Amino acid sequence: MTSSRTPDAAALARRVLQLIDLTSLNDGDDEAAIGTLVGSANTPLGRPAALCIYARLIGAARGALAAQGFSLPIATVTNFPSGAPLPDAAARETAEAVALGADEVDVVLPYRALIEGDALIARELVAQCRAAAGRRCLKVILETGELRETHLIRQASEIAIEGGADFIKTSTGKVAVNATLEAAEVMLDTIRQAGRPVGFKAAGGIRTVDDAAAYLALAQRICGEGWATPATFRFGASGLLGNLLASAGHVDGDRPSPSY
């Protein structure tokens, strides 16, 4: 069932959907929850950029995708959500995620160590995880709501980019302050100056089309019109999906809980 909506609203919703890493990172996630997540990804507007789930459920996601007759890249998280200052452990976890079939890995930077002035441990962790991920897409989560200060957000962005990150990502979605436009502006400006292609991912608390549109407008202003594609820009979200469908005039069905 649909209702009358403007073509512009539907087009925006479709564009945003194609940029989503549809996410479920709840402690109680199981095969049934992942099956529901996979089913929700096949929408009247199209499909998201990827699924983002815990590594232990990658096999279940592959099975559910095969059963439902379509495929999507699968992302997972490592050193999550703690951002522990343990490069060897983070690299092992990243390698294990790749062995389990992850196409993309989102690893948490040791942000507390960086706040305390230890940039070397952050550099080492990114470098080791880059090597462990191999050719897989590596996104580095900065946890900007905890870094807070502009100079720390920029420093974390630079460390991640210099270490070989394919994307830099705002947040785990597990702290009090997650994605903000202020942090995104610093990150996008650092990407603009990077001298090589690097993507941006906004995660945590992005729940409406209007929220998403504000980030897209910011990316366009800083990085140029047409820059934001699935290869360069992602939203980490679950609750956003229902709002996208509603904004395009589609009845919202059984969607993942808005916990990210």
Digit-coded pLDDT (tens) for 48-83: 999 999 999 999 999 999 999 999 999 999 999 999
CA pair distance 144, 19, nearest whole angstrom: 21
Query: Which of 106, 139, 166, 211 is the catalytic position?
Result: 106
Query: Which of 139, 166, 201, 211 is the catalytic position?
Result: 201
DSSP string, 149-218: SHHHHHHHHHHHHHTT-SEEE---S-SSS---HHHHHHHHHHHHTSSS--EEEEESS--SHHHHHHHHHH
Catalytic status, residue 201: yes
| Range 86-105 average pLDDT | 98
Q: Is 101 left (phi over 0), alpha (psi -120 to 50) or beta?
A: left
- Domain edges within the chain: 7-247
CA dihedral defined by 171, 175, 181, 182, rounded to 10 degrees? -100
Q: What is the value of pTM for the model shown?
A: 0.95
Q: Are 201 and 170 in contact (CB under 8 A)?
A: yes
CA pair distance 3, 240, nearest whole angstrom: 19
| Range 117-126 average pLDDT | 98
| Range 118-146 average pLDDT | 98
pLDDT of residue 5: 54
Query: Which of 21, 29, 139, 169 is the catalytic position?
Result: 169
Per mean pLDDT, which range of 85-94, 202-211, 245-254 is the poorest? 245-254
| Range 230-249 average pLDDT | 94
Cα 101 to Cα 55, 59, 74, 158, 249: the distances in Å are: 8, 8, 8, 28, 36
Catalytic status, residue 106: yes
Could you name the CATH architecture of 7-247? Alpha-Beta Barrel (3.20)
